[in-house]
Structures are given as structure tokens and as C-alpha cells.
């Protein structure tokens, strides 16, 4: 990854892939069977992973938008802080913030 935008796009792809692979098959199976057959742990993890994946995707799109805005409207100022290191730190913050903000979902989900 040579550019900041490519790093953000990779992060967006990872969050979308996580949603598609880890969450959608389980949700579809539960909807078709009208009964959740995967147990208590998956009952807590699936809504948490879905919410985290969506949150990471949304905040990554916000980061891309802000990065592009500064690159276009303030090109000289943006060169100082739009580095790969800054992008990696921002992505780590996005993931950590999403996990922290969505942790009540895992704590409060229960199988009925």
C-alpha cells in the first residue's frame, strides 16, 4: 500500500469482507430456520461483529472523505499529516473505537 487512500480502501474491504463472511451466513440461516441454532456464544458475537463491521466501514468512509477534502482543498497543509503512519494509527483507532462502542451489544445480547 503506497498511498493513504489505498490503506483506507483496504480497511474498508476488510470490514466489508468480515461482514459478508462472518455475519451474513449465520443471519440467513437463523432467518430461514426461524430458530437460532448456533448457541449462546454466537448469539452474543454475531450482533457485535455485525455492528463493529458496519461501524468500521462508516468511520473508514468518513476518514477517506476527510483525507480527500484536505488533499483537494488544502494540498500544502495536508502533506504534513497525511502519511502512512498517520493512516495506520487512524485505522487502529477506528477499530478500537468500534470495538469499545459496540461492546455493550455483546454484553447485553441473549438467546431466547
pLDDT in tens, 54-96: 999 999 999 999 999 999 999 888 888 888 999 999 999 999 9
**Domains identified in the chain and CATH numbers:** 4-108 (1.20.1070.10)
DSSP 12-78: HHHHHHHIIIIIHHHHHHHHHHTS--SHHHHHHHHHHHHHHHHHHHHHHHHHHHHHHHHHHHSHHHH
Task: Report the alpha-carbon distance of residue 102 to residue 16 in Å, rounded.
Answer: 17
Are 102 and 52 in contact, with CB atoms under 8 Å apart?
A: yes
Q: Which residue bears the cell 449465520?
A: 26
23-57 pLDDT, tens digit each: 888 888 878 887 778 777 887 888 899 999 999 99
Half-sphere exposure of 73 (CA within 13 A, CB side): 6
Q: Select the more confidently predicted residue: 48 or 1.
A: 48
For residue 13, report the phi and psi dihedrals to the nearest 5 degrees.
Answer: -65, -40
Amino acid at each position: 500500500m503506497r498511498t493513504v487512500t489505498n490503506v483506507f480502501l483496504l480497511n474498508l474491504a476488510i470490514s466489508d469482507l468480515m461482514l459478508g463472511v462472518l455475519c451474513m451466513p449465520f443471519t440467513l440461516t437463523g432467518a430461514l430456520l426461524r430458530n437460532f441454532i448456533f448457541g449462546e456464544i454466537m448469539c452474543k458475537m454475531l450482533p457485535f461483529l455485525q455492528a463493529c463491521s458496519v461501524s468500521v466501514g462508516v468511520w473508514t468512509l468518513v476518514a477517506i472523505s476527510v483525507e480527500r477534502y484536505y488533499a483537494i482543498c488544502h494540498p500544502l497543509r495536508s502533506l504534513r499529516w497525511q502519511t502512512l503512519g498517520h493512516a495506520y494509527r487512524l485505522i487502529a483507532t477506528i477499530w478500537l473505537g468500534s470495538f469499545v462502542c459496540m461492546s455493550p451489544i455483546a454484553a447485553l445480547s441473549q438467546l431466547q
